[in-house]
Chain A
Amino acid sequence: MTFFNLINAYAFWGAIELGLIFGLVGLGVFLTFRALDFPDLTVDGGFPLGAGVAAVLILGGWNPWLACLAALGAGALAGLATGVLAIRFGVLHILASILTMIALFSINIRVMGAPNLSLLGQETIVTPFAQMGLSGLYARPLAVGLVVLLVTGLLTLLFVSDFGLALRATGVNARMLRAQGADSRAYTYFGLALSNGLVALAGALFAQTSGFADVTSGAGTIVFGLAAVVLGETFFRSGRIWVVLTACVLGSIIYRLALAVAMQNLGSVGLQASDLNLITALIVAAALIAPKIRAEMRQRAARKGAAS
């Protein structure tokens, strides 16, 4: 039995497509969770915001690429809103992001004018690839993959720049950063805006590949992003920033492939589709606590070594 006995082509390419889209979410979550040390739940509202903004603009006749850029801008504004609450007014970080998230639910319905919008038959970023004669099954991951490649490349260039080094130091040692003359608050604002911009861009891609935008599509976005980050870190350990960023995307693809395999073979192991959230939570929790358990085991071994 090989891997492809466990999964059919539709599920496989669908998982690649979703994995790439949520790879962008992974990059955004890496930025807040790892670089800024700012647990940011804004993304659960930012994802459908990006989907809604892109959908409304595409339905209004905008070029789909411009609609993607507008979605990115809308997401960045959402991130800044969280930043103002947390940095300017000192609201607990995670609470600030939850406030923005629930506010975005109402805003998203205002933006779309309805809880959901259909994009079927509209021109999207996938259309040019489909017109080249490619089946949607391949055209969608190709279009999304190009965007993800571009974003990962640009982020790598950003992160190795003078500005990017300061951004990466913000969450690790803000005191040192200030002593080096950089305003850690300004970098936190920028990071929140960029992170939520990327997540909204992912929402815009999701709306275009799936053919609809839905206000409820953001539930669990933060967990999918975290799953991408922690799985990426588990499978690809490296200090090189391009590897770390690529690992976020690959982690997301691994996660989606694992889900797809599970979905197709649920029955045979006695699981049902609604168990997937539990499985996701367990995977993320395990990946998050693994480093701590490893450290404790090392400590215990060292103590034993010292005692003998």
Chain B
Amino acid sequence: MISVENLHVVFNPGTAIENHALRGVSLTIPTGAFVTVIGSNGAGKSTLLGALSGEAAPTQGRIRIEDQEVTFQPVHKRAKLAARVFQDPLAGTCATLSIEENMALALKRGGRRGFGKAVREERRALFRERLKPLGLGLENRLGDRIGLLSGGQRQAVSLVMATLAPSRILLLDEHTAALDPRMAKFVLELTRDVVAQYGLTTLMVTHSMADALAHGSRTIMLHQGRIALDVADPERQSMTIGDLLEMFSKVRGEEIRDDKLLLS
């Protein structure tokens, strides 16, 4: 479960470039729910995810993950509770390490890292077993440097890595935005499978209204640091992008003017 109460995040407070990115966001995501988050540039989508993961420090409010108060916990401490996949495929993996070494790093997420050998035969078997369903042939390339893989392949491995260590929460920060359409579709389908298989509580930030409506069971729209819309199934099931826009202009009294949001 994720619970956010009256969350404010201000970047560079007291300076000329002060940016009030989140202005009182409250949100409860029950265990096992898959929530998609949309919003135009600067709406606060990534900041919300950053606050949940610990990269953006709140100036007000509180955050609880799985009944633990994490509001001011550093990133590495709360990593045990929530796995993440970044927008940039390069960000989620270590380019100079091999596929199996990256997976071994992820296997120990939130755990103690001892001096025992990281890539053992039984772990290798596990990595192979988890990579095989991707259908990318990566299970035969365990020793290859992960820097040699394409962005989409790295994102797919990142998703698998997110499920290696036990945690119930998955944070996805526009994780298909940097991929070509075919690979983006593949990674989105993989996301759906992984979330279903492990019953993960998931927050997926996306730039695409179509993707937001097509995945999960609830969609939240952020606007200027606040939650503008919050729709859930079954109401959401029959909604189109047009319906969403209409609802938005009714609630906010204004129209959305972000081509990227509308077109993608």
Shortest CB distance A32–B (Å): 15
Contact partners of B92 in chain A: CB under 8 A: 176, 179
A158 interfacial by beta-carbon distance below 8 Å: yes
Given contacts A180-B106, A239-B98, contact A173 B79 (CB under 8 A): no
**How far is B116's CA from A163's CA once the two chains are assembled, in angstroms?**
8
A166 nearest CB neighbor, chain B only = B113
**How far is B76's CA from A176's CA once the two chains are assembled, in angstroms?**
10
Q: Is there an interface contact between B96 and A172, defined as CB atoms closer than 8 Å?
A: yes
- Which of A158, A160, A169, A239 contacts B94 (CB under 8 A)? A169
B81 nearest CB neighbor, chain A only = A181
**How far is B117's CA from A158's CA once the two chains are assembled, in angstroms?**
8
A165 interfacial by beta-carbon distance below 8 Å: yes
Q: Which 8 A-B pairs have the closest CB atoms?
A: A181-B79, A181-B110, A162-B113, A169-B94, A178-B75, A161-B115, A163-B113, A178-B76
B residues adjacent to A (C-beta < 8 A): 53, 74-77, 79-80, 84, 86, 90-98, 101, 104-106, 108-111, 113-119, 143, 145, 165
Contact partners of A158 in chain B: CB under 8 A: 115
**How far is B114's CA from A163's CA once the two chains are assembled, in angstroms?**
5
Q: Is there an interface contact between B91 and A162, defined as CB atoms closer than 8 Å?
A: no
Given contacts A160-B118, A165-B105, contact A173 B91 (CB under 8 A): yes
Q: Is there an interface contact between B117 and A160, defined as CB atoms closer than 8 Å?
A: yes
Shortest CB distance A171–B (Å): 9
B147 nearest CB neighbor, chain A only = A172
Given contacts A160-B117, A163-B113, contact A179 B97 (CB under 8 A): no
The contact string, 1 if C-beta is below 8 Å from chain B, for chain A 74-109, is 000000000000000000000000000000000000
Candidate in A157, A177, A178, A179 with the most chain B CB atoms within 10 angstroms: A179
A209 interfacial by beta-carbon distance below 8 Å: no
Shortest CB distance B156–A (Å): 16
Contact partners of A296 in chain B: CB under 8 A: none
B83 nearest CB neighbor, chain A only = A179
Contact partners of A160 in chain B: CB under 8 A: 117-119
Contact partners of B115 in chain A: CB under 8 A: 157-158, 161-164
Q: Is there an interface contact between A173 and B95, defined as CB atoms closer than 8 Å?
A: yes
The contact string, 1 if C-beta is below 8 Å from chain B, for chain A 137-164, is 0000000000000000000011011111
Secondary structure class of chain B's binding surface, majority of residues: loop
- Which of A157, A169, A175 contacts B97 (CB under 8 A)? A169
A182 nearest CB neighbor, chain B only = B76
B110 nearest CB neighbor, chain A only = A181
Contact partners of A180 in chain B: CB under 8 A: 76, 79, 105-106, 108-110
Q: Is there an interface contact between B104 and A165, defined as CB atoms closer than 8 Å?
A: yes
Contact partners of A181 in chain B: CB under 8 A: 76-77, 79-80, 108-111, 165
**Between-chain CB contacts (< 8 Å), 21 pairs:** A158-B115, A161-B115, A162-B113, A162-B115, A165-B97, A165-B104, A165-B118, A168-B94, A169-B97, A172-B97, A176-B94, A178-B74, A179-B53, A179-B84, A180-B76, A180-B106, A180-B109, A180-B110, A181-B76, A181-B80, A182-B113
Contact partners of B80 in chain A: CB under 8 A: 181
A184 interfacial by beta-carbon distance below 8 Å: yes
**How far is B77's CA from A183's CA once the two chains are assembled, in angstroms?**
8
- Which of A162, A175, A184 contacts B114 (CB under 8 A)? A162
Secondary structure class of chain A's binding surface, majority of residues: helix
**How far is B112's CA from A182's CA once the two chains are assembled, in angstroms?**
9
Candidate in B91, B94, B98, B118 with the most chain A CB atoms within 10 angstroms: B94
**How far is B78's CA from A183's CA once the two chains are assembled, in angstroms?**
11
Contact partners of A172 in chain B: CB under 8 A: 94-97
Q: Is there an interface contact between B76 and A173, defined as CB atoms closer than 8 Å?
A: no
**How far is B76's CA from A169's CA once the two chains are assembled, in angstroms?**
14
- Which of B74, B84, B118 contacts A164 (CB under 8 A)? B118
Candidate in A173, A175, A176, A178 with the most chain B CB atoms within 10 angstroms: A176
**Extra 9 A-B pairs, beta carbons < 8 Å, given A162-B104, A181-B109, A183-B76:** A162-B105, A163-B114, A172-B94, A176-B93, A179-B86, A180-B76, A180-B79, A181-B76, A239-B145
Shortest CB distance B76–A (Å): 5
Contact partners of B119 in chain A: CB under 8 A: 160
Contact partners of B77 in chain A: CB under 8 A: 181
Shortest CB distance A236–B (Å): 16
Q: Is there an interface contact between A168 and B97, defined as CB atoms closer than 8 Å?
A: yes
Shortest CB distance A172–B (Å): 5
B164 nearest CB neighbor, chain A only = A180
**How far is B73's CA from A186's CA once the two chains are assembled, in angstroms?**
16
Candidate in B86, B104, B113 with the most chain A CB atoms within 10 angstroms: B113
**How far is B116's CA from A43's CA once the two chains are assembled, in angstroms?**
29
Given contacts A172-B96, A183-B76, contact A165 B91 (CB under 8 A): no
B116 nearest CB neighbor, chain A only = A161
